[in-house]
């Protein structure tokens, strides 16, 4: 399954939720227009079981599911790919585990050098951020709009923006060169399908 080139990128918010509640939320996000889902869970109880259920749900809607930080888990359940942060191992190792068709994304924070290296090493997309104050990553270093402008000029990969993005502030990121907007709180802290539709409108 190919990396979507534009749209809303939903990242799960599993804290204090039952698996059923999480699955219902993700389905609502997809109904509202999310084009890709990432399973992110910093304190999982049974990551494998929940990831499998998410994969079944995403497959039903033909939306790729990526696993955050864990290429082994992605490989074991047959997910569509993995998202790698700074400490999560090399693109090359993830590619070996997951195969040629997997989607491998890389967090680049505010670093063009890191993004260029990721592209050279065979990543499928790069992510920059945080662009706005973020509840899920309060200590993350800020990224600049100018980084998106430069990345757009230098890279051929899809560019993901993340960090405190709301329907009200997302347009400036798209104008600066982002292709996808990755959202956690802005999507799942309110009525999910309605929020997803508000983000999806930005891509119209």
Per residue in 97-145, pLDDT (tens digit) is 999 999 999 999 999 999 999 999 999 999 999 999 887 777 778 999 9
Burial class of residue 2, CB neighbours in 10 A (0-12, 13-18, 19+): exposed
Instruction: Tell me the C-alpha distance between 25 and 30, whole Å.
Output: 9
Instruction: Output the furthest CA–CA distance in the chain (Å, rounded).
Output: 43
Q: What is the Rg, in whole angstroms, of the alpha carbon atoms belonging to the chain?
A: 15
What is the pLDDT at residue 88? Answer: 62
What is the pLDDT at residue 72? Answer: 96
> Which two tokens mark 93?
């190792």
Residue ranges and CATH numbers for the domains of the chain are 7-201 (3.20.20.70)
What is the pLDDT at residue 140? Answer: 76
Q: Identify the residue with better confidence: 28 or 134.
A: 28
What is the pLDDT at residue 2? Answer: 87
How much is the pTM? 0.96
Per residue in 147-166, pLDDT (tens digit) is 999 999 999 999 999 999 99
Per residue in 38-90, pLDDT (tens digit) is 999 999 989 999 999 999 999 999 999 999 999 999 999 999 999 999 876 79
E strands in the chain: 7-11, 34-39, 65-68, 81-84, 103-109, 125-129, 159-162, 180-183
Q: Is residue 29 within 8 Å of residue 10, measured between CB atoms?
A: yes
């Amino acid at each position: 399954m190919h990396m979507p080139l534009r749209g809303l990128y939903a990242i799960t918010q599993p804290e204090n939720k039952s698996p059923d509640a999480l699955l219902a939320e993700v389905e609502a996000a997809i109904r509202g227009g999310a084009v890709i889902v990432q399973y992110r869970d910093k304190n999982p109880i049974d990551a494998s079981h929940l990831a499998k259920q998410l994969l079944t749900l995403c497959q039903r809607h033909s939306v790729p599911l990526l696993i955050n930080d864990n290429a082994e888990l992605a490989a074991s359940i047959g997910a569509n790919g993995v998202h790698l942060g700074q400490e999560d191992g090399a693109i090359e190792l993830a590619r070996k585990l997951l195969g040629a068709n997997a989607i491998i994304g890389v967090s680049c924070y505010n670093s063009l050098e890191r993004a260029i290296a990721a592209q050279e090493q065979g990543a499928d997309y790069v992510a920059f951020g945080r662009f706005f104050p973020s509840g899920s990553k309060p200590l993350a270093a800020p990224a600049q709009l100018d980084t998106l402008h430069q990345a757009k000029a230098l890279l051929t990969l899809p560019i993901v923006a993340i960090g405190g993005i709301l329907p009200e502030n997302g347009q400036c990121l798209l104008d600066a060169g982002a292709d996808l907007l990755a959202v956690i709180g802005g999507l799942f802290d309110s009525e999910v399908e309605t929020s997803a539709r508000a983000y999806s409108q930005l891509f119209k």
